[in-house]
Amino acid sequence: METREVRPVGVVRRREAESTEGKCVIVILPEFKDAMLGIEPGNRLQVLFWMHRLGEEDRRILQVHPQGDTSRPRRGVFAVRGPMRPNPIGSTVVEVEEVREAEIVVSGLDALDGSPVVDIKIAG
């Protein structure tokens, strides 16, 4: 089956490069700013992001020990939520803290600094 092209719509920015804790900022690319209309503090948003630190070889891993615990039996990557998977797309529901010109300050996003954001949806 043919591959599909995903285009970043924004990027995650946070102060500490190696952390995924606390608030962070989703900086929306200028050409997608109009797609923010209606987002308000207090909203819950589902954020899809590309786990960009993973390499091509990580995309070939099909089974893992859950939470990296080798005492637990292997499971397929479709039966866990870890980062190793054929398409390294993270999906997390976050809370909107603040909306600025082309930025959304959120809490609860377990994405590293620099992660490309590929979609945002109101949480259903």
Contacts 24+ apart (CB under 8 A), 95-100: 95/42, 95/43, 95/44, 95/45, 96/39, 96/40, 96/41, 96/42, 96/43, 96/44, 96/45, 97/23, 97/41, 98/41, 99/36, 99/39, 99/40, 99/41
- Smallest gap from Cβ 60 to a second copy, in A, equals 9
- Of residues 37 through 96, those in contact with a second copy by CB under 8 A are 37-39, 43, 45-46, 48, 50, 62-63, 74-81, 85-87, 89, 91
Contacting residue, 2, 18, 57, 101, with a second copy by CB under 8 A? 2
Contacting residue, 12, 24, 25, 36, with a second copy by CB under 8 A? 36
3-class SS at 69?
Answer: coil
27 binds a second copy (CB under 8 A): no
Contacting residue, 13, 20, 23, 32, with a second copy by CB under 8 A? 32
Rg of the chain over CA atoms, in angstroms? 16
22 binds a second copy (CB under 8 A): no
User: Rounded to an integer, what distance in angstroms lies between the CA atom of residue 102 and that of residue 82?
Assistant: 30
Return residues touching a second copy (CB under 8 A).
1-9, 11, 28-29, 32, 34-39, 43, 45-46, 48, 50, 62-63, 74-81, 85-87, 89, 91, 116, 118-122, 124
